[in-house]
Structure 1
Amino acid sequence: MGQVIEINGKMSTLIPARDTTANQTLYAFHGYRMILATVLIVIGLTAGDALGLGQADPMLYQSVSGIYLCLVVFSMLCLVREIGSISNQIGGALVVDILTISLLVHASGGASSGLGILLLVSLSGGSLLLDRRNALAMAALSSIALLSEQLYTQLHTLESQVNYTYSGLLGVAFFAVTMLAQLAGTRLRVVEAVAVRQQSELSSLEQLNEHIIDRMESGVLAVDHDDQLLLGNSSAWQLLQCPVQQEGTSLARLSNKLNEELEIWRATSRSDPVIVEHGDKRLICRFQRIGDHKQSTVLIFLDDNYLVTQHAQQLKLASLGHLSATIAHEIRNPLGAISHAAQLLAESKDVVPNDRRLTEIITNHCQRLDEIVDRILSMSRDQTPAPQPLNLDAWLNMFCDQVSDAGDTALPRPSIKTESGLTAINFDPTHLYRILENLCSNANHHGTAYQRPLSVKVHAHQGADNQIVLDVIDTGVLIADEIAEKMFEPFFTTGTHGTGLGLYISRELCRTNGAELIYTNTGGNGNCFRIVARAA
């Protein structure tokens, strides 16, 4: 079993495993043993007599040295092939070293040969990877082996120069070295366990950050000081219309306009976002430097201007609708009382004809105010679009059939012209119906007010950058410039019966669907209200 220790307030068990540090230590230990076995054989063959190695039994010395080299080679093969656990390999190697060195000590004339000191190196190296119990057992086995060799020598050779004191001191050194190596090994394993845990936590945090960044709706690019892309999330590649990730490439190669804005930002350090045209998209770009150094990495945040505008428009409509609905409800209650009182007054027999005319004026204006309240309340309802692809050729014919056959509110049938091969439009059909109905109604009322022949034409054609253009063109009197500047404002009207909300609501509905409603003249007599929307 491994040693149980506390790391960062948590109990952990240190069990030798085949990690990088343990393998490196084990390779170093077996490398030392390989060198030792080779040196023992070479010295025994060349300078054994001079150094006193193998002097008592040369044959035993050479045999044990040769067998030891073979066992070390076998241990190295087991390490390379990962045969057995590290604890078993270390334990087996130490047992072999203890027996080998004990026999070599005996073959060299006993403890006075000095070979017993070699066990200190083996025990210190092995104790780094063994638990405390096994390490102390190896130290005890080493001491017993040397003392046994001394006892065997005394009993069989009857020598009087057997040095038990030296062997005993060497045994004490074995235990001391083992304990010191154990302390060092424990500390090493603690440090390694903490490092592994921190590495695992850092890896988890890195994966979490990557997951969060990749799931962000905003595009994120990281650019170094040489304008090379370091990383980007999936939203960025989608916004920049890249089929594959482009890390390692130049930002200018990906988007020259974006690279130009980055250079301007580096020179001016402005904080305001900028709009960059990229393909058929308009991107909102924000730059942020990581660190205070000018050579630091820069983060580029990208958002689709269409989506941001659409979201802001929905929030604007929701807040305005809520406020307007509150005001409208407050107006409707007294308005109902005024209208009811005017009706009762008109039905009275005591009312003179001149006063009856005043009651008619009150009733008419109450009806107009009621229409305004209805329009305001319609703004407070949920305006969230449900866009869908619409085939304009078929849909516009359906629209013209319905508006020209609507009973009391019927309008003259507009003429339709659609470009051949026109792409479908992506729009909420209910919203588009309300917008076109209001534009056609305004055109007819405007022409009728000037008592001149009027025709209304709806022209659908392909625009630039994958856009669809819907023109509602009339042959009425040209709208004055000062009126054109204000006619999209709420409650602005030039007539006595309008509410001033029609064009405002139409434009807001267009923006909610990611489209735009603008006014332009036809270059002669007539006006054109243009809807610019995205193709499906």
Structure 2
Amino acid sequence: MSSPALMPSPAPRRATTATRHELFFLNYFRLAQAVVYVALAFAPVDMRWIRLTHPDLAQSVVIAYLLAAVAILLLTRRLAVIAPVTVSLTLVVDIGVAVMAVIAMHDARIGIAMMLAVNLSAGALVLPLRLSLFFASLATLGMLGHTTLETSPNTPIDSHELLEAALFGLAYFATTTLCHVLGRQLRATEALAEQRSIDLANLAQVNELIIRRMKTGVLLVDDANHIHQMNESGWMLLGSPPADQRDLGKLAPELSRRLYHWMTSGKLDETATQLADGTPEVVPRFTRLAPNDDSHVLIFLDDTSLVSRRAEELTLSSLGRLSASIAHEIRNPLAAIRYSAQLLAESRNMPPTDQRMVEIINNHCVRLNEIIENILQLSRRERSRPETLDLGNWANAFVEEYRQGNDLGEDSLRVINSSAPVAAVADPQQLQQVVWNLVQNALRYGRLPGEPARVMVVTRPGEHGVPILEVIDRGPGIAPKVAAQIFEPFYTTHEYGTGLGLYLARQMTEANQASLEYVRVAGGGSCFRITLTPAHARQTGDPAIADESVR
């Protein structure tokens, strides 16, 4: 499964959910406000609650205001993307209509001024503080200006109405400031909640990915023995059942029996068991989803093969360190023995029997030195230093160097390259050690009785252009039972072998993001195939090719 794409952090948006809600509230209120104005302006004479000082002006203004309120409400969703501009323009209309309504319906001035306070407060939820205070000032000047202009030159200003207008202006400033602060806190809370929801979604995706990629199988089972969820490892350990099969009793009767035994007795059976054919043995563990919840149980399936491999790795690591210290101590006396044997071999008066004994000493010193080198390689585990190689040129140079350093006699070692260049990424020194080991084994064991060894080093492009290097011999081949174990450490069928050569070869190929496998050759013979990383995959980072190269 591919890694989940984490949700991005919220980018600044021109209209949040809270802003849209505030716009809808303001526009619905404006429509109700317009309906109230219409009811006041068009009420029958016998039901009229107020006296219209300018009937024609009142009716014209309220009709226009009603139509504008309906149009603005219908366009709320589209206008939400430019909320500050929309609110600013509509507040100008609200203030202008309110001032004209007060002029035309003087008796309703208190109610109109109070409704205008709602418009200003709702607008302050969206607008910046300075702009909100500007509209509050505009509404205050409108109310004070109406009181001043309505008074004739010969009539003194009504101090009562002037005080009302001033108090309404003070209320406009107070409610506008308060609503702006509340709106800012509301938007901050909304942004925080949105960020928290994104963080929780990301965390849920990460948790799901971790659970699905766990090597331990995880199953969620209810009290009806039905599997609600399982991760990839659990699905594989159950034998890769179809998606519609979720009955634990049918999929894994032994696991269902152990679950029932644990739920009834509280005792856990920790013996390993195999849940399906072809799957590794597991040790099941159970735990309730919640302390007081008996309806759901989590089942953990521990793969015993993983534990065994981990124990093997720890054993090899400890053994490598111990063997390396011993090998260092052996090297010095071994060098002295070999040097002494070489000096004895140079003696001219040595009998043939003594010469044979010296030859035996030299041969065993060489063999013991090879064992020490293998053990030291097991403990070193040097990191690879990959380079881009022309595999054909590299194979030609390797074979030529091998011929110069080793007497092949009647044996043959040749290179077969593809017509097109094959570029690969690998550490040249480690690749040299791997191929040298494979060629040495092929020359030693890959021969028919009484015949010379015929070994080929082949370079060619594989599927998707993956570079392949093969060491092929025409010997008797390797029996299938033996071939299944040849890469295990310390496994050997030879009397004088250490069982570390092929194990180290595979370790070094894997350190180079490559793979080493044995392929039986039709008609007799053996093929050890190294699948390397292509050079263009390293440059482009193509995951499909990179995955193919390490299979």
Shared fold, TM over 0.5: yes
Q: Secondary structure at the match of 1:155?
A: coil
Q: Which moved more, 1:146-155 or 1:205-214?
A: 205-214
Q: Secondary structure at the match of 1:17?
A: coil
User: Given residue 94 of structure 1, which amino acid in structure 2 is its aligned partner?
Assistant: L
Q: Is the 8 A contact 1:140 1:175 kept in 2?
A: yes
1:324 and 2:369 are equivalent in the alignment = no
Q: 1:365 to 1:30 in 2, by over 3 A?
A: same
CA distance in 1 between partners of 2:256 and 2:302 (Å): 13
1:164 and 2:209 are equivalent in the alignment = no
Q: Which residue of 2 aligns with 1:104?
A: 101
2:126 to 103, 113, 129: 129
Q: Which residue of 2 aligns with 1:186?
A: 184
1:25 and 2:22 are equivalent in the alignment = yes
Q: Secondary structure at the match of 2:14?
A: coil
State the 1:160 CA deviation.
6.5
State the 1:262 CA deviation.
5.6
Unmatched 5+ stretches in structure 1 = 1-13, 349-356, 387-396, 408-427, 438-457, 461-467, 472-489, 492-497, 516-535
Q: Is the 8 A contact 2:18 2:187 kept in 1?
A: no
User: Given residue 149 of structure 2, which amino acid in structure 1 is its aligned partner?
Assistant: Y
Q: Which residue of 1 aligns with 2:33?
A: 36
CA distance in 2 between partners of 1:254 and 1:190 (Å): 51
Unmatched 5+ stretches in structure 2 = 1-10, 348-352, 382-430, 432-441, 453-468, 485-489, 508-514, 518-550
Structure 2 matches for 1:128-527, cutoff 5 A? 128-155=125-152, 161=158, 163-209=161-207, 216=213, 218=215, 221=218, 223=220, 225=222, 227-230=226-229, 232=231, 268=266, 270=268, 274-282=272-280, 284=282, 287=285, 289=287, 293=291, 295=293, 298=298, 300=300, 305=305, 309=308, 312-313=311-312, 316-317=315-316, 319-328=318-327, 330-331=329-330, 334=333, 378=374, 381=377, 402=447, 404-405=449-450
Deviations 1:76-101, CA, capped at 9 Å, x for gaps: 13213337610111112211211112
Q: Is the 8 A contact 2:15 2:80 kept in 1?
A: no
CA distance in 2 between partners of 1:429 and 1:264 (Å): 54
Q: Secondary structure at the match of 1:23?
A: helix
Q: Secondary structure at the match of 1:223?
A: strand
Q: Is the 8 A contact 1:111 1:166 kept in 2?
A: no
With normalisation by structure 2, the TM-score equals 0.56
Q: Which residue of 2 aligns with 1:62?
A: 59
Q: Which moved more, 1:145-154 or 1:295-304?
A: 295-304
Q: Is the 8 A contact 2:228 2:246 kept in 1?
A: yes
User: Given residue 298 of structure 1, which amino acid in structure 2 is its aligned partner?
Assistant: L
State the 1:372 CA deviation.
7.4
User: Number of matched residues?
Assistant: 419
Q: 1:110 to 1:336 in 2, by over 3 A?
A: closer
User: Given residue 404 of structure 1, which amino acid in structure 2 is its aligned partner?
Assistant: P
User: Given residue 186 of structure 1, which amino acid in structure 2 is its aligned partner?
Assistant: R
Matched-pair identity in % = 25
> Which structure would you say has the larger Rg?
1
State the 1:36 CA deviation.
2.1
Q: Which residue of 2 aligns with 1:389?
A: none
State the 1:105 CA deviation.
1.4
Q: 1:273 to 1:36 in 2, by over 3 A?
A: farther
User: Given residue 192 of structure 1, which amino acid in structure 2 is its aligned partner?
Assistant: E
Q: 1:205 to 1:146 in 2, by over 3 A?
A: same
Deviations 1:290-330, CA, capped at 9 Å, x for gaps: 8652636637466593x765565455445434533543553
Q: 1:220 to 1:55 in 2, by over 3 A?
A: farther
State the 1:228 CA deviation.
3.5
Q: Is the 8 A contact 1:139 1:175 kept in 2?
A: yes
User: Given residue 167 of structure 2, which amino acid in structure 1 is its aligned partner?
Assistant: L
